[in-house]
Amino acid sequence: MPETVMTLKVRLKTPEKAADKLRRAMGCARFVHNYLLFETKTDYEDYLDELESRLIFGEAHSAGEAQALCVRPESVTKFSLTYRIKTLRKQYPFLASDAPAQVLQQECQRLAGAFKCFSEGKSGYPRFKRKVENESIRYPQFVRFNLKSRQLFLPKLGWLNVFNKKLPLTPGQAKGIHTATVVREGNRFYACLEYTVTVPETRSAEELSRECTGLDRGVVIPLQLSDGTQYGTELKERTGPLTEKIKLLQKRFKHKTRGSRSWRALKKRIAKLQLKIRSIRRDILHKATTEIAKSHGCICMEDLKLKNMTKSARGTVQEPGSDVRQKSGLNRELLLRALGETGVMLEYKLRLRGGLLIRVPPQYTSQTCPVCGHVSENNRTSQSEFVCEKCGHSANADLNAAENIKRAGRARIAGDAGSKGAVTRNLPESGLKTAQPEAHEL
């Protein structure tokens, strides 16, 4: 049976001394990142200035001649960056005393990966890191986890207890844990532990089609299944008071001096409330997705482009946008529901149970009548009501969309099974991907 790598996120019990050591290690990693990025950026800017000067003063008649005369800066790779760690640890003794060498090497690999994505056009130029609420460092070796005592061993820190009482690990999986990523969220520290699990084989196309259920994600009803079940409706009720409290506290910033003690105290207070909102949302999503994965073998959902959906409508000076405040409020509500995180959770939880998550195109799912197939924007009379102008079929708009998603998913299963003989996971066009799941908290 195939195996996959899972990530378990546990909260660490950090005494003041251990928390201080973790903050220092994160500060060292941030220092190395910024130092190497500044050196690389300076070398590249000097190279560009030399190219320009040789062209201006006539030393070269073309860009190719100028490049041949100039000394090109060293290419940025994980080896070239990691090689400088030894010199930096001698030049700055706190790097040797406050952080393991491998933590700094991992930060160099992250920076090298950022440069690689930039060179391939996948992202922008790497940016400097600043001291923020959320930071992370990675321990690639010498990590041990004791399942019986629920303790985690980290280099230069020793054994640390974890808060989680029930962990979904077997003794064999716990022994296989050798790497950890420590994340700071506010004043809390979490460890993301990687372990290997056995994944059952995917069910047959006929069985998946029989158990297929559509899932519509929205703002008013975060999760609406085609069988009529709704999840996440309590999210607004539980986070609403906290959101209003954050708005009131943010208004006090205009009476504070930036960087003052009261300003920092207010910032920490708001960060604590935001962390509470994230914890509530994560708890609701985990409970909902676990229940869905246990009771359904195949879930079909829209392949939403959330990054495009949450773009600002402000526009530019030459072409200003319209309804900016309304779009800003909609973006805020969409981000609160964490629709993308819902898909990630469902994908790995279904896969662990032999199920499948199918992503279908989102076009016209809310405007199509499931009875006669008529497509029109006038079918959606309001946010919650769907009435077909051709046959008169009426239903809840979210439930109607979930039914259309279900039909599209069944058509995708039938098409994949007919063309390849079996339903597969690795078709990027249909969203049947085997991406490694993100860290999750239990």
Query: How far apart are the C-alpha atoms of 353 and 372, rounded to whole Å?
Result: 35
Strand, helix or coil for residue 415: helix
Strand, helix or coil for residue 5: strand
Is the Cβ–Cβ distance between 137 and 103 less than 8 Å? yes
Q: How far is CA 332 from CA 98, 157, 216, 368, in A?
A: 39, 39, 19, 27
Is the Cβ–Cβ distance between 329 and 389 less than 8 Å? no
User: Is 302 one of the catalytic residues?
Assistant: yes
Strand, helix or coil for residue 314: coil
Residue that is written with structure tokens 């979490």 in the block: 190
| Catalytic annotation, pick one of 216, 347, 403, 416 | 216
User: Is 398 one of the catalytic residues?
Assistant: yes
What is the Cα 5 distance to its own chain's centre?
Answer: 17
Q: In one letter, which amino acid is 136?
A: S
Is the Cβ–Cβ distance between 180 and 139 less than 8 Å? yes
Phi, psi dihedrals of residue 199, rounded to the nearest 5°? -105, 130
| Catalytic annotation, pick one of 107, 135, 398, 403 | 398
| Catalytic annotation, pick one of 98, 107, 302, 403 | 302
List strand residue ranges (DSSP E) for 82-165, in order: 134-139, 144-146, 151-154, 158-162
Using a 10 angstrom Cβ sphere, with 0-12 exposed, 13-18 middle and 19 or more buried, the burial of residue 71 is exposed
DSSP H or E segment with residue 224: strand 223-225
Q: Which candidate, 211, 386, 214, places its Cα nearest to that of 294?
A: 211
Phi-psi region of 290 (alpha: psi -120 to 50; beta: other; left: phi over 0): alpha
Query: How far apart are the C-alpha atoms of 178 and 409, rounded to whole Å?
Result: 39
Question: Which residues is 387 bridged to in the sheet?
Answer: 394
- Burial readout 171-184 (b: 16 or more C-beta within 10 A, e: otherwise): eebbeebeebbbbb
Query: How far apart are the C-alpha atoms of 206 and 210, rounded to whole Å?
Result: 6
User: Is 49 one of the catalytic residues?
Assistant: no
Q: Which residues are catalytic?
A: 216, 302, 398
